[in-house]
């Protein structure tokens, strides 16, 4: 199985699929091709929150603002999962999570390439062939490929950590999802036992609830989202707009 995630929209993912299918009968599963454009941090968040649910697979992740520069093509392994991505940190958080869940250590490699057909579409010309080759060699065995060499170092990416003190927390909006939910890095445990109480997020008040429908359509709420973090939401509406929050914004939560 090869999963595909990118910020390519349409129709560039098709060329990647074609290239892979010429080399491999692997099952292909689209994760998404609508990742926020050239936003490595958002891509790192969303792949961390989706790929660990998959069975063992080769995960191709292409969000690549450095395409055409000398950044490396990275291949990683955590247990029976492999990753193929630009060396910009995008798959480090998901690898760290899978390592924590499985006890396997992440291993990192460089996929050597020269003179791809384009300087602007390495998804097609570098990463898709790499994913097909890794899949065909096998996750446990891909370092037998001549193009694969150990990575001396690899670009890391870590999300900021929130600070919780009693009734207040300071954190950051990590991402806003497609529904407009503003997902912070404040751990959901901050809301433990506080359902029904009022929380202020940067001065905007909202009740703590466990279901969107606990408030009327269009009304604000704060809840623990499916990622385990505090989210600022609106029932059938956009929390980002109602709370005035964007990715990267500092957020102060206070009961």
Which is nearest to 110 in space by CA: 95, 126, 124? 126
User: Should residue 142 be labelled a site residue for its own copies when binding is judged by CB under 8 A?
Assistant: no
Helix (H, G, I), strand (E, B) or coil at 176: strand
Please, is 80 exposed, middle or buried when counting C-beta atoms within 10 Å of its C-beta (0-12, 13-18, 19+)?
middle
User: Should residue 167 be labelled a site residue for its own copies when binding is judged by CB under 8 A?
Assistant: no
Q: How many residues bind its own copies (CB under 8 A)?
A: 61
Rg (CA), the chain: 20
User: Should residue 134 be labelled a site residue for its own copies when binding is judged by CB under 8 A?
Assistant: no
The interface with its own copies within residues 9-28 (CB under 8 A) comprises 9-15, 17-19, 21-22, 28
User: Should residue 30 be labelled a site residue for its own copies when binding is judged by CB under 8 A?
Assistant: yes
CA 239 vs CA 16, 204, 231, 232: distances in Å: 35, 11, 8, 6
Rounded (to 5) percent helix, strand, coil in the chain: 25, 30, 40
Least Å distance, CB 150 to its own copies, is: 26
User: Should residue 102 be labelled a site residue for its own copies when binding is judged by CB under 8 A?
Assistant: no
Which is nearest to 230 in space by CA: 252, 203, 246, 204? 252
User: Should residue 6 be labelled a site residue for its own copies when binding is judged by CB under 8 A?
Assistant: no
Span interacting with its own copies, options 75-83, 148-156, 220-228, 243-251, rule CB under 8 A: 220-228
Q: Summarize as ranges the residues that interact with its own copies (CB under 8 A).
A: 1, 3, 5, 8-15, 17-19, 21-22, 28-35, 37-38, 46, 49-55, 65-69, 117-121, 124-125, 177-179, 210-214, 223-226, 231, 235-236
């Amino acid at each position: 199985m090869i999963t595909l995630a990118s910020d390519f929209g349409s129709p560039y993912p098709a060329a990647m699929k074609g290239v892979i299918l010429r080399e491999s009968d692997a099952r292909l599963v689209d994760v998404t091709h609508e990742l926020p454009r050239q936003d490595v941090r958002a891509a790192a968040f969303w792949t961390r929150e989706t790929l660990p649910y998959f069975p063992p697979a080769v995960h191709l992740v292409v969000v690549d603002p450095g395409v055409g520069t000398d950044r490396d093509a990275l291949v990683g392994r955590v247990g029976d999962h492999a990753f193929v991505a630009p060396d910009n940190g995008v798959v480090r958080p998901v690898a760290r999570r899978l390592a924590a869940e499985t006890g396997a250590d992440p291993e990192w490699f460089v996929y050597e390439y020269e003179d791809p057909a384009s300087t602007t579409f390495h998804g097609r010309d570098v990463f898709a062939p790499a994913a097909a080759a890794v899949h065909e060699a096998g996750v446990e065995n891909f370092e037998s490929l001549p193009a694969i060499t150990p990575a001396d170092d690899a670009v890391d990416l870590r999300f900021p950590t929130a600070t919780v003190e009693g009734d207040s927390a300071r954190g950051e909006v990590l991402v806003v999802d497609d529904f407009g939910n503003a997902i912070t890095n404040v751990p959901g445990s901050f809301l433990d036992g506080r359902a029904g109480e009022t929380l202020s997020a940067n001065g905007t008040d909202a009740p703590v609830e466990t279901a969107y429908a606990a408030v009327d359509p269009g009304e604000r709420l704060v809840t623990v989202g499916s990622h385990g973090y505090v989210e600022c939401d609106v029932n059938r509406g956009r929390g980002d707009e109602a709370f005035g929050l964007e990715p990267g914004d500092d957020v102060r939560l206070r009961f």
